[in-house]
Amino acid sequence: MATVSARWPTLIITVCLVLCIQSIAANKTSVPALLVFGDSTSDPGNNNYIHTVLKSNFPPYGRDFIDHHATGRFCNGRLATDFIAEGLGVKKTVPPYLHPNLSPQDLVTGVSFASAGTGYDNLTASILNVIPMWKEIEYFKEYQLLLKQMFGEQRASNVINKALYLISTGSNDFIENFLQIPIRRLQFSPSEYVDFLIDIADSFIKELYSLGARRILVAGLPPIGCLPLLRTMNVLGLGQCMEEYNDIALHYNGELQTTIENLSHKLPGLVTVYGDIYKITYEAIFNPTKYGFEEVAKACCGSGTIEVGYLCNELIPSCRDASTFVFWDSVHPTERLYKMVANNLLQSLIPRLL
């Protein structure tokens, strides 16, 4: 990631472009930017620029993306955050903040600080050496400095205060720390760990608020027990959903929703909403024909049971039509499900933030 000072000469050259962008962004939408924090559900490629094994910047990832190339998104195409940005009239895709060639337009209309494999728990990020949530906050602070240098204090403040903030993380905390490497299971009961994570989420939202965020959408967990990877691990349950983990997700979601509502009442000017990812995903899995899906238990990539990251590659044949699958790899949704999630949020929740 280039430093603020290293970017400065290039930014001066583009001053005319910046002035044009200011005018367009100010008039096109009431949301000037979408700023994203979280994990692989909202990482458009930040992991490409850090030392980690958790990457997806190779085929068949991205095969259905706008120009059919792998961007680092853990998907066959766009993420829900991309569709939300498009629905708001901001832009078609949200770029990764760590991309070395971000333009002023990229920055002023929003970026993603998210990192695949991370979680609220710092331990989660350390397992695969990805960006912890606290570091995402540090990048956000750097981003604010860039905006002030490019657009001036007043314009930068307008973007920061009026932007829509989206937080999407939490699944990895349970999958990695409770199931795959049960470190936290030795320290916490599921209920205690939920409380532990909710306290961190509460602090994270407060930190964003202190930095100028006023409109925040916080996504809950999907039915993580129905991810193909967890189905595969559920040998004794004959590959059915691991209801234990679905129950944990529901408990977590309930506590998160309460926390979000409390923060909206406590912090002046803050508007937060809870994004129910669980319901729409659950409905797609258990009533697939209603939504045009054909396969819900296995993913499109490879055998559809364990492939994710480097295990999902061109050497392993993938399905022909990913749009008929709920899941792209054994952990992540297809572009089609992400679009459904985004449309649901755009129609039912985001208007409350505007």
* Cα–Cα distance for residue pair 119/177, rounded to 1 Å: 10
332 part of the active site: yes
For 271, the enclosing helix (H) or strand (E) is strand 271-275
121 part of the active site: no
> Which is the catalytic residue, given 56, 318, 329, 330?
329
* Cα–Cα distance for residue pair 139/157, rounded to 1 Å: 17
pLDDT surpassing 70 at residue 20? no
Please compute the mean of the pLDDT values over residues 11-35 and round it to a whole number. 54
Please, is 145 exposed, middle or buried when counting C-beta atoms within 10 Å of its C-beta (0-12, 13-18, 19+)? exposed
> Which is the catalytic residue, given 40, 56, 171, 318?
40
> Which is the catalytic residue, given 106, 318, 323, 332?
332
Give residue-wise pLDDT tens across range 179-225: 888 899 999 999 999 999 999 999 999 999 999 999 999 999 999 99
CB-CB contact of 221 with 252 (8 Å) = yes
Q: What is the pLDDT of residue 139?
A: 98
Q: What is the pLDDT of residue 354?
A: 74
CB-CB contact of 229 with 330 (8 Å) = yes
Residues 6+ apart with CB under 8 A from 250: 278
Q: What is the pLDDT of residue 39?
A: 98
Sign of the Cα pseudo-torsion (35, 326, 117, 256, in order): positive
> Side chain identity at 248, as an amino acid letter?
I
CB-CB contact of 93 with 75 (8 Å) = no
What is the C-alpha R_g of the chain? 20
CA 25 vs CA 78, 103, 108, 188, 254: distances in Å: 22, 14, 8, 47, 36
Peptide bond into 60 cis (omega under 30): yes
The pTM (predicted TM-score) of the whole model is 0.91
* More confidently predicted of 13 and 334: 334
Give residue-wise pLDDT tens across range 305-352: 999 999 999 998 899 999 999 999 999 999 999 999 999 999 988 888
Give residue-wise pLDDT tens across range 75-100: 999 999 999 999 999 999 999 999 99
SS3 302: coil
pLDDT surpassing 50 at residue 11? no
Q: Write the secondary structure of 24-87 as one string of H (helix), E (strand) and C (coil).
A: HHHHHCCCCCEEEEECCCCCCCHHHHCCCCCCCCCCCCCCCCCCCCCCCCCCCCCCHHHHHHHH
CA 111 vs CA 136, 280, 326: distances in Å: 11, 26, 26
Phi, psi values for residue 120, rounded to 5°: -65, -35
Give residue-wise pLDDT tens across range 165-184: 999 999 999 999 988 888 99
Confidence of residue 9 (pLDDT cuts 50, 70, 90): very low
- Tell me the domains of the chain and their CATH numbers: 4-226+238-279 (3.40.50)
SS3 307: coil
SS3 114: coil
* Cα–Cα distance for residue pair 219/196, rounded to 1 Å: 17
